[in-house]
Chain A
Amino acid sequence: MATLSVCQPQLGGFSFENCKRNAVLEAEVTKLGCNIPSARKTGTTICGVVFKDGIVLGADTRATEGMIVADKNCSKIHYISPNIYCCGAGTAADTEMTTQIISSNLELHSLSTSRLPRVATANRMLKQMLFRYQGHIGAALVLGGVDCNGPHLYSIYPHGSTDKLPYVTMGSGSLAAMAVFEDRYKQDMEEEDAKRLVRDAIAAGIFNDLGSGSNIDLCVITKGRVDYLRPHDMANKKGVRLIRPVYAYKQGTTGVLTKSVIKLDLEVVEETVQTMDTS
Protein backbone atom coordinates (compact mmCIF):
# COMPACT_ATOMS: atom_id res chain seq x y z
CA MET A 1 0.00 0.00 0.00
CA ALA A 2 1.42 3.37 -0.95
CA THR A 3 1.31 5.78 1.95
CA LEU A 4 2.65 9.23 1.39
CA SER A 5 2.89 12.08 3.80
CA VAL A 6 -0.03 13.77 2.07
CA CYS A 7 -1.18 16.77 4.01
CA GLN A 8 -4.39 17.62 2.21
CA PRO A 9 -7.07 15.31 0.88
CA GLN A 10 -6.97 14.60 -2.86
CA LEU A 11 -9.23 16.44 -5.29
CA GLY A 12 -10.97 14.89 -8.27
CA GLY A 13 -10.80 15.99 -11.89
CA PHE A 14 -7.86 16.36 -14.25
CA SER A 15 -4.42 15.77 -12.79
CA PHE A 16 -1.46 17.61 -14.33
CA GLU A 17 1.22 15.71 -12.41
CA ASN A 18 2.76 14.01 -15.40
CA CYS A 19 2.77 16.92 -17.86
CA LYS A 20 6.39 17.90 -17.25
CA ARG A 21 7.50 14.29 -17.44
CA ASN A 22 5.60 13.83 -20.69
CA ALA A 23 7.17 16.93 -22.21
CA VAL A 24 10.65 15.63 -21.35
CA LEU A 25 9.82 12.17 -22.74
CA GLU A 26 8.48 13.63 -25.95
CA ALA A 27 11.63 15.68 -26.45
CA GLU A 28 13.80 12.58 -25.87
CA VAL A 29 11.76 10.40 -28.23
CA THR A 30 11.74 13.02 -30.97
CA LYS A 31 15.53 13.25 -30.70
CA LEU A 32 15.72 9.53 -31.41
CA GLY A 33 13.45 9.95 -34.43
CA CYS A 34 10.36 8.02 -33.25
CA ASN A 35 6.87 9.38 -32.64
CA ILE A 36 4.79 9.17 -29.54
CA PRO A 37 1.40 7.50 -30.17
CA SER A 38 -1.22 9.93 -31.41
CA ALA A 39 -4.82 10.18 -30.30
CA ARG A 40 -7.49 8.50 -32.37
CA LYS A 41 -9.34 11.17 -34.34
CA THR A 42 -12.58 10.80 -36.18
CA GLY A 43 -11.41 12.63 -39.37
CA THR A 44 -14.97 13.04 -40.27
CA THR A 45 -17.78 14.41 -42.28
CA ILE A 46 -20.77 15.32 -40.15
CA CYS A 47 -23.65 17.56 -41.10
CA GLY A 48 -27.16 18.53 -40.20
CA VAL A 49 -30.08 20.23 -41.87
CA VAL A 50 -33.38 21.69 -40.70
CA PHE A 51 -36.40 20.62 -42.74
CA LYS A 52 -40.10 21.35 -42.45
CA ASP A 53 -40.93 19.18 -39.42
CA GLY A 54 -37.56 18.59 -37.79
CA ILE A 55 -33.86 17.85 -38.16
CA VAL A 56 -31.81 15.39 -40.21
CA LEU A 57 -28.30 14.64 -38.89
CA GLY A 58 -25.79 12.68 -40.95
CA ALA A 59 -22.32 11.25 -40.36
CA ASP A 60 -19.81 8.89 -41.96
CA THR A 61 -18.40 5.96 -39.98
CA ARG A 62 -14.61 5.98 -40.25
CA ALA A 63 -12.22 6.59 -37.33
CA THR A 64 -8.54 7.20 -38.15
CA GLU A 65 -5.36 6.95 -36.12
CA GLY A 66 -2.82 8.94 -38.07
CA MET A 67 -2.80 7.34 -41.52
CA ILE A 68 -4.50 4.11 -40.48
CA VAL A 69 -8.23 3.41 -40.28
CA ALA A 70 -8.81 2.49 -36.66
CA ASP A 71 -12.52 1.71 -36.86
CA LYS A 72 -14.40 0.96 -40.08
CA ASN A 73 -17.83 1.33 -38.58
CA CYS A 74 -17.88 3.64 -35.60
CA SER A 75 -20.98 5.45 -34.49
CA LYS A 76 -20.63 9.22 -34.56
CA ILE A 77 -24.20 10.23 -33.80
CA HIS A 78 -24.50 10.28 -30.02
CA TYR A 79 -27.61 10.29 -27.88
CA ILE A 80 -28.09 13.32 -25.69
CA SER A 81 -31.75 13.07 -24.77
CA PRO A 82 -34.83 11.44 -26.35
CA ASN A 83 -35.37 14.49 -28.56
CA ILE A 84 -31.76 15.68 -29.00
CA TYR A 85 -28.88 13.97 -30.81
CA CYS A 86 -25.33 15.17 -31.40
CA CYS A 87 -22.73 14.31 -34.07
CA GLY A 88 -19.09 14.54 -32.99
CA ALA A 89 -15.88 15.27 -34.91
CA GLY A 90 -12.34 15.67 -33.58
CA THR A 91 -10.70 13.44 -31.00
CA ALA A 92 -12.94 10.39 -30.63
CA ALA A 93 -12.55 10.01 -26.85
CA ASP A 94 -13.27 13.69 -26.27
CA THR A 95 -16.49 13.69 -28.25
CA GLU A 96 -17.63 10.45 -26.60
CA MET A 97 -17.01 11.62 -23.04
CA THR A 98 -18.30 15.15 -23.62
CA THR A 99 -21.59 13.96 -25.08
CA GLN A 100 -22.03 11.41 -22.30
CA ILE A 101 -21.42 13.99 -19.57
CA ILE A 102 -23.81 16.48 -21.14
CA SER A 103 -26.39 13.74 -21.65
CA SER A 104 -26.22 12.88 -17.93
CA ASN A 105 -26.42 16.51 -16.91
CA LEU A 106 -29.41 17.10 -19.17
CA GLU A 107 -31.15 14.06 -17.72
CA LEU A 108 -30.64 15.34 -14.18
CA HIS A 109 -31.79 18.80 -15.25
CA SER A 110 -34.91 17.49 -16.93
CA LEU A 111 -35.77 15.39 -13.88
CA SER A 112 -35.37 18.46 -11.74
CA THR A 113 -37.56 20.66 -13.99
CA SER A 114 -39.87 17.78 -15.07
CA ARG A 115 -39.87 19.02 -18.66
CA LEU A 116 -38.46 17.76 -21.92
CA PRO A 117 -34.98 19.29 -22.28
CA ARG A 118 -34.39 22.09 -24.80
CA VAL A 119 -31.66 22.15 -27.41
CA ALA A 120 -30.54 25.58 -26.21
CA THR A 121 -29.85 24.10 -22.75
CA ALA A 122 -27.62 21.41 -24.21
CA ASN A 123 -25.88 24.02 -26.35
CA ARG A 124 -25.23 26.28 -23.36
CA MET A 125 -23.89 23.41 -21.24
CA LEU A 126 -21.57 22.26 -24.01
CA LYS A 127 -20.18 25.69 -24.80
CA GLN A 128 -19.53 26.51 -21.15
CA MET A 129 -17.68 23.25 -20.64
CA LEU A 130 -15.61 23.54 -23.82
CA PHE A 131 -14.67 27.14 -23.04
CA ARG A 132 -13.59 26.18 -19.56
CA TYR A 133 -10.99 23.84 -21.06
CA GLN A 134 -9.84 26.41 -23.64
CA GLY A 135 -9.94 24.09 -26.64
CA HIS A 136 -7.77 21.36 -25.11
CA ILE A 137 -10.81 19.10 -25.36
CA GLY A 138 -10.90 18.56 -29.13
CA ALA A 139 -14.61 18.09 -29.73
CA ALA A 140 -16.35 19.76 -32.68
CA LEU A 141 -20.05 18.97 -32.52
CA VAL A 142 -23.23 19.31 -34.53
CA LEU A 143 -26.13 19.41 -32.09
CA GLY A 144 -29.71 19.06 -33.30
CA GLY A 145 -33.10 18.37 -31.81
CA VAL A 146 -36.78 19.21 -31.64
CA ASP A 147 -38.23 20.74 -28.50
CA CYS A 148 -41.27 22.79 -27.51
CA ASN A 149 -40.04 25.74 -29.61
CA GLY A 150 -39.50 23.74 -32.80
CA PRO A 151 -36.43 22.27 -34.52
CA HIS A 152 -33.00 23.74 -33.68
CA LEU A 153 -29.54 23.06 -35.12
CA TYR A 154 -26.26 24.26 -33.59
CA SER A 155 -22.61 23.81 -34.49
CA ILE A 156 -20.16 23.91 -31.59
CA TYR A 157 -16.40 24.42 -32.04
CA PRO A 158 -13.69 23.05 -29.71
CA HIS A 159 -12.92 26.42 -28.16
CA GLY A 160 -16.52 27.03 -27.19
CA SER A 161 -18.07 29.20 -29.91
CA THR A 162 -21.45 28.16 -31.30
CA ASP A 163 -23.56 28.98 -34.34
CA LYS A 164 -27.29 28.50 -34.79
CA LEU A 165 -27.92 27.84 -38.48
CA PRO A 166 -30.33 26.02 -40.82
CA TYR A 167 -27.56 23.79 -42.21
CA VAL A 168 -24.10 23.02 -40.78
CA THR A 169 -21.15 20.76 -41.57
CA MET A 170 -18.08 19.89 -39.47
CA GLY A 171 -14.99 17.75 -39.73
CA SER A 172 -12.28 17.27 -42.32
CA GLY A 173 -14.85 16.63 -45.07
CA SER A 174 -16.94 19.66 -44.13
CA LEU A 175 -16.01 21.68 -47.20
CA ALA A 176 -17.15 18.96 -49.59
CA ALA A 177 -20.42 18.53 -47.69
CA MET A 178 -20.98 22.27 -47.46
CA ALA A 179 -20.58 22.57 -51.22
CA VAL A 180 -23.50 20.15 -51.68
CA PHE A 181 -25.58 22.03 -49.12
CA GLU A 182 -24.91 25.44 -50.64
CA ASP A 183 -25.99 24.13 -54.00
CA ARG A 184 -29.19 22.31 -53.09
CA TYR A 185 -30.50 23.56 -49.76
CA LYS A 186 -34.03 25.03 -49.76
CA GLN A 187 -36.13 26.17 -46.87
CA ASP A 188 -38.94 23.92 -45.63
CA MET A 189 -37.94 20.76 -47.48
CA GLU A 190 -39.84 17.49 -47.20
CA GLU A 191 -38.36 14.66 -45.16
CA GLU A 192 -37.33 12.52 -48.13
CA ASP A 193 -35.65 15.46 -49.86
CA ALA A 194 -33.78 16.35 -46.67
CA LYS A 195 -32.61 12.75 -46.21
CA ARG A 196 -31.41 12.60 -49.80
CA LEU A 197 -29.59 15.94 -49.44
CA VAL A 198 -27.79 14.86 -46.27
CA ARG A 199 -26.91 11.49 -47.80
CA ASP A 200 -25.40 13.22 -50.83
CA ALA A 201 -23.48 15.68 -48.66
CA ILE A 202 -21.94 12.89 -46.58
CA ALA A 203 -21.18 10.91 -49.75
CA ALA A 204 -19.34 13.97 -51.12
CA GLY A 205 -17.27 14.06 -47.94
CA ILE A 206 -16.60 10.30 -48.10
CA PHE A 207 -15.43 10.28 -51.70
CA ASN A 208 -13.40 13.49 -51.61
CA ASP A 209 -11.76 13.34 -48.17
CA LEU A 210 -9.29 10.73 -46.98
CA GLY A 211 -10.35 11.01 -43.37
CA SER A 212 -13.98 10.03 -44.05
CA GLY A 213 -15.26 6.75 -45.38
CA SER A 214 -17.32 3.58 -44.99
CA ASN A 215 -21.05 3.94 -44.44
CA ILE A 216 -23.49 6.81 -44.03
CA ASP A 217 -25.54 7.04 -40.83
CA LEU A 218 -28.62 9.22 -40.65
CA CYS A 219 -30.74 10.39 -37.74
CA VAL A 220 -34.13 11.96 -38.42
CA ILE A 221 -35.65 13.80 -35.45
CA THR A 222 -39.21 15.07 -35.55
CA LYS A 223 -41.67 15.96 -32.82
CA GLY A 224 -42.32 12.72 -30.97
CA ARG A 225 -40.29 10.43 -33.28
CA VAL A 226 -36.62 9.66 -33.83
CA ASP A 227 -35.38 7.42 -36.69
CA TYR A 228 -31.81 6.30 -36.15
CA LEU A 229 -30.83 4.79 -39.51
CA ARG A 230 -27.58 2.96 -39.08
CA PRO A 231 -26.45 2.27 -41.72
CA HIS A 232 -28.59 4.26 -44.06
CA ASP A 233 -26.35 3.67 -47.05
CA MET A 234 -23.25 1.58 -47.57
CA ALA A 235 -21.21 3.80 -49.86
CA ASN A 236 -18.02 1.73 -49.73
CA LYS A 237 -18.65 -1.97 -49.82
CA LYS A 238 -15.64 -4.26 -49.77
CA GLY A 239 -15.32 -6.32 -52.96
CA VAL A 240 -16.73 -9.86 -52.99
CA ARG A 241 -14.12 -12.60 -53.44
CA LEU A 242 -14.93 -15.91 -55.19
CA ILE A 243 -15.02 -18.78 -52.70
CA ARG A 244 -13.46 -21.29 -55.16
CA PRO A 245 -11.45 -19.31 -57.66
CA VAL A 246 -11.89 -20.77 -61.13
CA TYR A 247 -8.52 -20.68 -62.86
CA ALA A 248 -9.12 -23.43 -65.41
CA TYR A 249 -10.07 -22.32 -68.92
CA LYS A 250 -12.97 -23.77 -70.84
CA GLN A 251 -12.40 -26.36 -73.54
CA GLY A 252 -11.87 -24.66 -76.88
CA THR A 253 -10.47 -21.36 -75.45
CA THR A 254 -7.26 -21.90 -77.34
CA GLY A 255 -7.67 -22.67 -81.04
CA VAL A 256 -5.91 -25.87 -82.33
CA LEU A 257 -3.78 -25.27 -85.45
CA THR A 258 -2.10 -28.66 -86.11
CA LYS A 259 -2.17 -32.08 -84.50
CA SER A 260 0.49 -34.83 -84.91
CA VAL A 261 0.62 -38.21 -83.08
CA ILE A 262 3.99 -40.03 -82.65
CA LYS A 263 3.75 -43.68 -81.57
CA LEU A 264 6.51 -44.92 -79.24
CA ASP A 265 7.47 -48.64 -79.77
CA LEU A 266 8.27 -50.27 -76.44
CA GLU A 267 9.50 -53.91 -76.09
CA VAL A 268 9.43 -56.02 -72.91
CA VAL A 269 13.02 -56.58 -71.59
CA GLU A 270 12.55 -58.29 -68.20
CA GLU A 271 9.60 -59.50 -66.14
CA THR A 272 9.88 -60.23 -62.38
CA VAL A 273 7.24 -61.03 -59.77
CA GLN A 274 7.71 -60.00 -56.14
CA THR A 275 5.27 -61.44 -53.57
CA MET A 276 3.98 -59.07 -50.91
CA ASP A 277 4.12 -60.01 -47.23
CA THR A 278 0.42 -59.79 -46.26
CA SER A 279 0.52 -61.32 -42.75
Chain B
Amino acid sequence: MNTRGLRSQPKDSVPVTGMGQQVGAYGVQDTLRSGFSSVKNELLPSHALELSEKNFQLNQDKMNFSNLRNIQGLHAPLKLQMEYRAARQIQRLPFLQSSHLALDTLKGNDESISFEDILNDPSQSEMVGEPHIMMEYKLGLM
Protein backbone atom coordinates (compact mmCIF):
# COMPACT_ATOMS: atom_id res chain seq x y z
CA MET B 1 0.00 0.00 0.00
CA ASN B 2 1.23 3.46 -0.80
CA THR B 3 2.09 4.83 2.64
CA ARG B 4 2.56 8.32 1.26
CA GLY B 5 -1.19 8.58 1.17
CA LEU B 6 -1.33 8.37 4.95
CA ARG B 7 0.51 11.62 5.47
CA SER B 8 -1.67 14.70 5.87
CA GLN B 9 -1.61 17.06 2.95
CA PRO B 10 -0.52 20.59 3.85
CA LYS B 11 -2.53 23.43 2.36
CA ASP B 12 0.20 24.84 0.16
CA SER B 13 0.86 21.64 -1.66
CA VAL B 14 -2.62 21.39 -3.19
CA PRO B 15 -2.00 21.54 -6.94
CA VAL B 16 -3.25 24.62 -8.70
CA THR B 17 -5.37 22.64 -11.13
CA GLY B 18 -7.37 21.35 -8.14
CA MET B 19 -8.99 24.75 -7.98
CA GLY B 20 -8.90 25.73 -11.61
CA GLN B 21 -10.29 24.59 -14.89
CA GLN B 22 -11.04 21.13 -16.05
CA VAL B 23 -8.49 19.89 -18.47
CA GLY B 24 -10.00 18.54 -21.66
CA ALA B 25 -8.39 16.77 -24.55
CA TYR B 26 -4.75 17.59 -25.40
CA GLY B 27 -4.24 19.12 -21.93
CA VAL B 28 -5.88 22.47 -22.81
CA GLN B 29 -8.68 24.16 -20.81
CA ASP B 30 -12.14 23.00 -21.60
CA THR B 31 -13.69 26.34 -22.58
CA LEU B 32 -16.86 24.70 -23.82
CA ARG B 33 -17.70 23.12 -20.48
CA SER B 34 -16.14 25.39 -17.87
CA GLY B 35 -16.22 28.80 -19.51
CA PHE B 36 -13.47 31.35 -20.08
CA SER B 37 -10.47 31.24 -17.80
CA SER B 38 -7.99 33.78 -16.51
CA VAL B 39 -4.71 33.15 -14.74
CA LYS B 40 -5.69 35.35 -11.79
CA ASN B 41 -8.87 33.36 -11.19
CA GLU B 42 -6.99 30.12 -11.21
CA LEU B 43 -4.01 31.01 -9.07
CA LEU B 44 -5.61 32.91 -6.19
CA PRO B 45 -8.43 31.53 -4.07
CA SER B 46 -11.38 33.89 -3.79
CA HIS B 47 -11.62 33.45 -0.03
CA ALA B 48 -9.09 32.57 2.66
CA LEU B 49 -11.12 29.53 3.65
CA GLU B 50 -11.81 28.18 0.17
CA LEU B 51 -8.85 25.83 -0.09
CA SER B 52 -8.98 24.67 3.50
CA GLU B 53 -12.70 23.93 3.31
CA LYS B 54 -12.34 22.08 0.03
CA ASN B 55 -9.77 19.71 1.51
CA PHE B 56 -11.08 19.61 5.05
CA GLN B 57 -12.61 16.14 4.98
CA LEU B 58 -9.61 14.76 3.16
CA ASN B 59 -7.17 16.19 5.69
CA GLN B 60 -9.23 15.01 8.63
CA ASP B 61 -9.32 11.48 7.27
CA LYS B 62 -5.58 11.47 6.60
CA MET B 63 -4.86 12.73 10.10
CA ASN B 64 -7.12 10.13 11.69
CA PHE B 65 -5.64 7.31 9.64
CA SER B 66 -2.09 8.26 10.45
CA ASN B 67 -2.97 8.46 14.16
CA LEU B 68 -4.56 5.04 13.94
CA ARG B 69 -1.51 3.70 12.20
CA ASN B 70 0.78 5.04 14.90
CA ILE B 71 -1.34 3.68 17.74
CA GLN B 72 -2.60 0.36 16.48
CA GLY B 73 -0.39 -0.55 13.56
CA LEU B 74 -0.86 -0.61 9.81
CA HIS B 75 -3.71 -3.12 9.83
CA ALA B 76 -6.19 -0.69 11.43
CA PRO B 77 -6.26 2.00 8.70
CA LEU B 78 -5.99 -0.67 6.01
CA LYS B 79 -9.10 -2.47 7.21
CA LEU B 80 -10.99 0.79 7.65
CA GLN B 81 -10.08 2.05 4.19
CA MET B 82 -11.21 -1.23 2.69
CA GLU B 83 -14.57 -0.83 4.40
CA TYR B 84 -14.84 2.78 3.23
CA ARG B 85 -14.16 1.74 -0.33
CA ALA B 86 -16.83 -0.92 -0.17
CA ALA B 87 -19.38 1.45 1.37
CA ARG B 88 -18.60 4.19 -1.16
CA GLN B 89 -19.66 1.92 -3.97
CA ILE B 90 -23.22 1.67 -2.64
CA GLN B 91 -24.69 4.60 -4.48
CA ARG B 92 -26.99 5.55 -7.32
CA LEU B 93 -25.86 6.90 -10.67
CA PRO B 94 -24.12 10.28 -10.32
CA PHE B 95 -27.00 12.49 -11.44
CA LEU B 96 -29.39 11.03 -8.85
CA GLN B 97 -29.36 11.71 -5.12
CA SER B 98 -27.81 8.89 -3.11
CA SER B 99 -28.09 8.75 0.64
CA HIS B 100 -24.57 7.41 1.38
CA LEU B 101 -26.05 5.79 4.47
CA ALA B 102 -23.40 3.10 4.93
CA LEU B 103 -20.55 5.52 4.34
CA ASP B 104 -22.01 8.06 6.79
CA THR B 105 -22.49 5.45 9.47
CA LEU B 106 -18.90 4.25 9.07
CA LYS B 107 -17.52 7.77 9.23
CA GLY B 108 -19.74 8.76 12.15
CA ASN B 109 -21.47 11.53 10.21
CA ASP B 110 -24.88 10.14 11.13
CA GLU B 111 -24.40 11.45 14.68
CA SER B 112 -23.36 14.99 13.91
CA ILE B 113 -24.78 18.04 12.15
CA SER B 114 -22.58 20.65 10.52
CA PHE B 115 -22.83 23.31 7.86
CA GLU B 116 -22.67 20.68 5.12
CA ASP B 117 -26.12 19.50 6.18
CA ILE B 118 -27.69 22.92 6.54
CA LEU B 119 -26.24 25.11 3.79
CA ASN B 120 -26.40 24.23 0.08
CA ASP B 121 -28.12 20.90 0.59
CA PRO B 122 -27.34 19.02 -2.65
CA SER B 123 -30.78 17.39 -2.65
CA GLN B 124 -32.29 20.88 -2.97
CA SER B 125 -29.87 22.39 -5.45
CA GLU B 126 -31.44 24.36 -8.27
CA MET B 127 -29.09 22.99 -10.92
CA VAL B 128 -29.56 19.53 -12.32
CA GLY B 129 -26.64 17.78 -13.87
CA GLU B 130 -27.08 16.50 -17.38
CA PRO B 131 -27.31 12.71 -16.98
CA HIS B 132 -25.37 11.76 -20.12
CA ILE B 133 -22.47 14.09 -19.43
CA MET B 134 -22.21 13.05 -15.79
CA MET B 135 -22.21 9.39 -16.71
CA GLU B 136 -19.55 9.93 -19.37
CA TYR B 137 -17.43 11.82 -16.85
CA LYS B 138 -17.80 9.06 -14.30
CA LEU B 139 -16.89 6.34 -16.77
CA GLY B 140 -13.89 8.34 -17.94
CA LEU B 141 -15.12 8.67 -21.52
CA MET B 142 -14.90 12.46 -21.40
The chain A residues found within 8 Å of chain B, CB to CB, are: 1-16, 19-20, 23, 97, 101, 104-105, 108-109, 112, 129, 132-134, 136
Question: What chain A residues lie within 8 Å of B33 (beta carbons)?
Answer: 5, 7
Q: Given A2-B126, A4-B129, A13-B119, verify A136-B48 contact (CB < 8 Å).
A: yes
Are A12 and B117 interface neighbours, CB within 8 A? yes
B134 contacts the other chain (Cβ, under 8 Å)? yes
Question: Is the pair B113, A105 in contact by a Cβ cutoff of 8 Å?
Answer: yes
A12-B121 contact in complex given A2-B126, A7-B137, C-beta closer than 8 Å: yes
Which chain B residue has the least Cβ–Cβ distance from A103? B113
**In the complex, A13→B113 CA distance in Å?**
11
* Count, chain B residues at interface, CB 8 A: 36
A-B contact pairs, 19 of them (CB 8 A): A2-B126, A2-B127, A4-B129, A4-B130, A5-B130, A7-B22, A7-B33, A9-B95, A10-B127, A11-B120, A12-B117, A12-B119, A16-B47, A16-B50, A16-B53, A101-B113, A132-B56, A134-B48, A134-B52
The distance in angstroms between the C-alpha atoms of A73 and B137, with both chains bound, is 54
B57 to chain A, nearest CB (A): 9
A12-B117, A109-B111 known; A19-B50 Cβ under 8 A: yes
Q: How many A-B residue pairs have CB under 8 A?
A: 96
A15 to B126, CA, bound (A): 14
A20 to B19 Cα, complex, angstroms: 14
- Taking the complex as formed, is B46 at the interface, i.e. its CB lies under 8 A from any CB of chain A? yes
Given contacts A16-B46, A105-B112, A134-B49, are A10 and B125 in contact (CB under 8 A)?
yes
Residue of A nearest to B125 (CB): A10
Which A residues lie within 8 Å of B112 (CB)? 105, 108
Q: How far apart sit A14 and B53, CA to CA, in the bound complex (Å)?
A: 8
Q: Which residue of A lies closest to B137 (CB)?
A: A7
Cβ of A104 and Cβ of B130 under 8 Å apart? Answer: no
Docked Cα-Cα span, A7 to B142, in Å, equals 10
The 7 tightest CB contacts between A and B, nearest first, are A19-B46, A12-B116, A6-B129, A13-B116, A7-B137, A10-B122, A20-B46
Q: Please give 12 more A-B residue pairs, beta carbons under 8 A apart, in addition to A2-B127, A20-B41, A101-B113.
A: A3-B129, A4-B127, A5-B33, A5-B133, A7-B129, A7-B142, A11-B120, A12-B115, A12-B121, A13-B53, A19-B46, A101-B115
Q: CB distance B47 to A19 under 8 Å?
A: yes
Residues of B with C-beta under 8 A to A132: 56
In the complex, the answer to whether A14 meets B119 with C-beta atoms within 8 Å is yes
- Specify which chain A residues have a CB less than 8 angstroms from the CB of B28 in the assembled complex: none
Q: Would A108 and B113 count as touching, CB distance under 8 A?
A: yes
| B128 / chain A contacts, CB cutoff of 8 Å | 1-3
Residue of B nearest to A136 (CB): B49
Given contacts A7-B142, A11-B122, A12-B117, contact A108 B111 (CB under 8 A): yes
CB contacts (< 8 Å) of B71 on chain A: these are: none
